[in-house]
Amino acid sequence: MLLIPCPWCGPRDEIEFRYGGEAHVAYPADPPAVDDLELARYIFYRGNPKGRFQERWVHQQGCRRWFNLVRDTVTHEIAGSYLPGQGPPA
């Protein structure tokens, strides 16, 4: 089980959290202007790297707030968490 550092509550067991997938997926700036391919990319395509990944989690059973996590998808090592709207730690 992962030990996830919630930036508000501190480290908690994975069972308290729900996963939100890739972080920093921007809503199209001008939705009516995007074509089918761009829209498909926004809706269905997400990064799936083998290695470092910036992803969203929500502390569902705790503070119920969203945050971002940097985790390695091969080792499951967590490099750190940060608040929404902020950039990832170096």
Partner 1 sequence: MPHTESHPDFLWRSPEPRSSYDVVIVGGGGHGLFTAYYLAKNHGITNVAVVERGWLGGGNAVRNTTVIRSNYLWDESAAIYEHSLKLWEGIQEELDYDVLFDQRGVLNLAHNLHDVRESVRRVNANRLNGVDAEWLDADGVAEFCPLINTSRHIRYPVMGATLQRRGGIARHDALVFAVARAAAALGVHLIQDCEVTGIEVEAGRAVALETSRGRIAAGRIGLCAAGHSSVVAAMAGVELPIQSHPLQALVSEVLDQVLDTVVMSNAVHVYVSQAHKGELVMGAGIDPYNSYAQRGSFHVIEEQMAAALELFPIFARARVLRTWAGIVDVCPDASPIVGPTPVENLFVNCGWGTGGFKGTPGSGWVYAWTLAHGEAHELNRPFALERFETGALIDEHGAAAVAH
Q: Which of 32, 48, 85, 90 lies at the binding interface for partner 1 (CB under 8 A)?
A: 48
- Residue 64 as a binder of partner 1 (CB under 8 A): the answer is no
Q: Shortest gap between Cβ of 75 and partner 1 (angstroms)?
A: 7
Residue 49: CB atoms within 10 A of its CB come to: 11
Q: Shortest gap between Cβ of 82 and partner 1 (angstroms)?
A: 17
- Residue 37 as a binder of partner 1 (CB under 8 A): the answer is yes
- Residue 45 as a binder of partner 1 (CB under 8 A): the answer is yes
Contact 54, 25 (CB under 8 A): no
Contact 38, 58 (CB under 8 A): no
d(CA 1, CA 37): 37
